[in-house]
Structure 1
């Protein structure tokens, strides 16, 4: 059986005091016009721990300094060629970060963010995620369900496995 080359990434479920979630707007080149709203984060570099990667990614993408070790709450594996350029799919590990609301602006320039297909950052209320019926997608597609459970029940006793 051939080995599968998956991109290992970390993402943060950043919730403010009103339980709004901070999401990145990804404008995906193929198929053209695809927009996906996803939790901020990114790839784990060689010799980097997941939490070190999370701290770096949040500093770069949204300007948030994480000083504690946030709880690991969700795990997602997507094996789908083309889902991540150069890989057979992705593994995303999600960590819960609670913070006061802030104006997201990371260390990366707009051009650097655009090179990663990020074209915006916005706070979404869980109601807005659940009721959204526009053309954009969420990652995971059913973000509203695990998000509602996380807000209602808190950190799960066991890691929640997410679908695509």
Structure 2
């Protein structure tokens, strides 16, 4: 039996200096397994992906002053986390904000167990990073976004399995 596919909205959140906000997380049962990822999460009830993106951003970062842009990328991914297998259909929205202070008081119980912090990254810092980042081509995708602007239609990324 295949797992239900979870609909997810993620944000490529840029500040006025074109830095991207990433969260640092780890596997609760294996803290040595860590990675950086974009804010966002699963849809609740009948909410739209746009609404989910803004809600998740507020919960995970405290940032609410956001200009939500178009969907940049879409990807399917499959991974194990916190004792279960996740199958996700992720949409990545462009978003901009001048609000760079972070407030993690809205984190869920799982986020408090698995997120160690958030950080604003320049494109150059992300390109030079030796840490795991999801999606795996994020540095290249961000560089293209900053150089060329948003794509006319969402780019479908290769599926990822971890």
Shorter chain as denominator, the TM-score bin is: 0.7 to 0.9
Does the 8 A contact of 2:26 with 2:32 survive in 1?
yes
List structure 1 segments (4+ residues) > 6 angstroms apart after TM superposition.
none
Paired positions, count: 159
Give 1:86 deviation, angstroms: 3.8
Counterparts in 2 of 1:17-96, with a 5 A limit? 17-29=16-28, 31-65=30-64, 68-80=67-79, 82=80, 86-96=84-94
TM superposition score normalised by structure 2: 0.85
Residues in 2 aligned to 1:78 and 1:112: alpha-carbon distance in whole angstroms = 20
Matched, 1:12 2:11: yes
Matched residue, 1:125? 122
| 1:99 alignment partner, one of 87, 97, 100 | 97
Report the 3-state secondary structure (helix = DSSP H, G, I; strand = E; otherwise coil) of the residue aligned with 1:58.
Answer: helix
CA drift at 1:147:
0.8
Deviation at 1:15, TM superposition (A): 0.6
| Per-residue deviation, 1:18 | 1.2
> Structure 1: which 5+ runs fail to align?
none
Consecutive unaligned residues in structure 2, runs of 5 or more: none
Structure with the larger strand share: 2
The match for 1:138 among 129, 133, 137 is: 133
Of 57-66 and 103-112, deviating more is 103-112
TM norm structure 1: 0.84
